[in-house]
């Protein structure tokens, strides 16, 4: 029998989490007291995401390490989407007492690894027992000199630009659902996203007027921007790259490759609107912001309404 959380206990588990924990220079107190303490330069930006086994992840489909990484990556992407710089992360961790302690340790390694990659210092956490493994990840960033980039700032005439991949995680998930572990790159994209760290602050610096990360699907997430800004967004599908792996999964599953790109979530690419002429070089223009012209705010695909499903909602 492998050692379980019940064998290890709450406080030794916390000790394992905290051993040799690296901290950024803004942090004056890491975890272990009633609160973590750190400095914020400019305005503070914060967001929380909850990840539940059986809803957001399955232990069969990804390693504990990747699940820890993905939870932090998805949350860190929210800071990117505000154009904020990363500062601190807190993780609430609930799990059944019979969970192998090694699974928890590997998950914590993943959390720490992705926090390091994202530039976040782990400053707090909590552990509890629960039937489902649950991770609640809170991230805190700072704006430094600029202002945060909201969803509501898109203006007619702005260009819509993308940084990162679309459809890869959805293709990987579709493969896993059919019992495949390939194409490996797509499956890996589902198991752990690679948000374009730093691109959010870059976009803010270039004057992005609105921004969001693609967590639920391009159409769903740009729909939030369209409604918050009161505009139409028209996507030009010729400009959307369809990865080889996405193409391969689409072919194998008899689906439209474009459906993966337009509606697939969890890649955590960044999509932003920029005044004409201000799009950074590393971003790809994929559409335009238009006047409503009497229509309801929405996202058009090559000038038309998209007929298929647009993304994921909970409790549905």
Looking at residues 131 to 160 of the shown chain, list those that interact with a copy of itself (rule: CB under 8 A): 131-132, 134, 136, 138-141, 143, 148, 150-152
Tell me if residue 229 falls in helix, strand or coil: helix
Whole-angstrom Cα distance, residue 270 to residue 201? 11
Does the protein bind a copy of itself through residue 269 (CB under 8 A)?
Answer: no
Does the protein bind a copy of itself through residue 188 (CB under 8 A)?
Answer: no
Of 280-309, binders to a copy of itself (CB under 8 A) are none
Q: How far is the CB of 84 from a copy of itself (least distance, A)?
A: 7
Stretch that binds a copy of itself, among 25-33, 59-67, 181-189, 238-246 (CB under 8 A): 25-33
Instruction: Output the DSSP codes for 44-103.
Output: EEEEEEEEEBTTTB-TTTS-HHHHHHHHHHHHHHHHHHTTPEEEEEEEEEEE-TTSBHHH
Q: How far is the CB of 292 from a copy of itself (least distance, A)?
A: 20
Q: How far is the CB of 28 from a copy of itself (least distance, A)?
A: 6
Sign, CA torsion 203/197/52/15 = negative
Of all helices (H) and strands (E), which one includes residue 151? none
Stretch that binds a copy of itself, among 62-70, 119-127, 190-198, 271-279 (CB under 8 A): 119-127
Short-list 86, 93, 94, 2, CA closest to 42: 86
* Site size for a copy of itself (CB under 8 A): 72
User: What is the pattern of x (binds a copy of itself, CB under 8 A) and - over residues 212-251?
Assistant: xx--------------x-----------------------
Of 41-100, binders to a copy of itself (CB under 8 A) are 43-52, 54-56, 78-79, 81-82, 84, 88, 90-94, 97
Short-list 46, 38, 118, CA closest to 82: 46
Helix axes 168-177, 244-253, angle to 10 degrees: 40
Answer for which of 30, 38, 105, 159 binds a copy of itself (CB under 8 A) is: 38
Whole-angstrom Cα distance, residue 162 to residue 76? 17
């Amino acid at each position: 029998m492998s050692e379980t959380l019940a064998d290890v206990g709450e406080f030794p588990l916390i000790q394992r989490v905290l051993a040799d924990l690296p901290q950024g220079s803004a942090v004056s107190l890491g975890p272990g007291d009633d609160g973590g303490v750190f400095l914020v330069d400019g305005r503070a930006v914060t967001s929380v995401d909850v990840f539940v086994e059986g809803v957001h992840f399955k232990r069969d489909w990804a390693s504990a390490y990747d699940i820890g990484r993905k939870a932090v990556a998805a949350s860190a992407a929210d800071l990117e989407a505000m154009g904020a710089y990363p500062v601190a992360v807190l993780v609430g961790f609930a799990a059944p007492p019979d969970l192998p302690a090694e699974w928890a340790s590997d998950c914590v390694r993943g959390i720490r690894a992705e926090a390091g990659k994202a530039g976040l210092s782990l400053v707090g956490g909590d552990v509890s027992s629960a039937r489902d493994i649950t991770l609640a990840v809170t991230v805190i960033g700072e704006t430094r000199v600029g202002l945060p980039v909201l969803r509501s700032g898109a203006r007619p005439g702005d260009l819509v630009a993308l940084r990162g991949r679309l459809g890869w995680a959805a293709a990987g998930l579709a493969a896993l659902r059919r019992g495949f572990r390939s194409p490996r790159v797509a499956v890996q994209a589902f198991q752990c996203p690679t948000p374009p760290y730093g691109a959010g602050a870059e976009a803010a610096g270039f004057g992005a007027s609105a921004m969001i990360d693609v967590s639920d699907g391009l159409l769903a997430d740009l729909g939030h921007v369209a409604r918050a800004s009161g505009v139409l967004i028209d996507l030009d599908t010729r400009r959307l790259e369809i990865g080889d792996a996405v193409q391969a999964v689409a072919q194998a599953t008899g689906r439209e490759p474009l459906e993966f790109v337009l509606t697939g979530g969890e890649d955590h690419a960044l999509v932003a609107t920029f005044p004409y002429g201000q799009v950074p070089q590393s971003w790809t223009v994929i559409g335009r912001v238009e006047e409503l012209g009497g229509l309801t705010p929405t996202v058009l695909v090559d000038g038309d309404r998209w007929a298929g499903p647009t993304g994921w909602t909970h409790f549905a």
